[in-house]
Amino acid sequence: MSVCRGLSFPTSFLLLALVVLNLVFLCNGGTTSTFVRKVEKGINMSLDSDVFAVPSGYNAPQQVHITQGDLVGKSVIVSWVTEDEQGSNAVRYWSAENSSKQKKMLAKGKIVTYRFFNYSSGFIH
């Protein structure tokens, strides 16, 4: 404040306000693109869509996820949830090339559950 020592309070306040306003308008903070999300609700997938329905069959797998398991692309992670019982924890897999001649492999995983307050998860494979 040694620079503004000779200025009166209203003058220093005005100078400070001008600097702040200048920074606000020049920085354009928070604006990253011209895209603006529409206010109305999207129509992509309604909550009563069939994809949210519980699959038919007793203890049928739900929430099946298949993801790349490593950075090279040579492994896969498969997970799913069963509600009623543990069920099988095995996944059978094989290569798509020469699938009739190749041996089918079997991988087994572990099954876990968790609780959070009054919520109990299904069996996560």
pLDDT in tens, 21-53: 877 777 766 667 788 777 877 667 777 878 778
Residue 78 lies in a domain: yes
List residues bridging with 70 in a β-sheet.
Answer: none
Please report, for the domain that includes residue 57, its CATH number. 2.60.40.380
Residue 62 lies in a domain: yes
The pTM for the full model equals 0.55
- Looking at the 3D structure of the chain, how many domains does it have? 1
Which residues, 6+ apart, have CB-to-CB distance to 66 below 8 Å? 76, 77, 78
Q: Please, which contacts does 43-52 make with residues 24 or more away whose CB atoms are closer than 8 Å?
A: none
Give the domain extent around 110: 51-124
Residue 66 lies in a domain: yes
- The residue among 122, 47, 36, 107 whose CA lies nearest residue 77 is 107
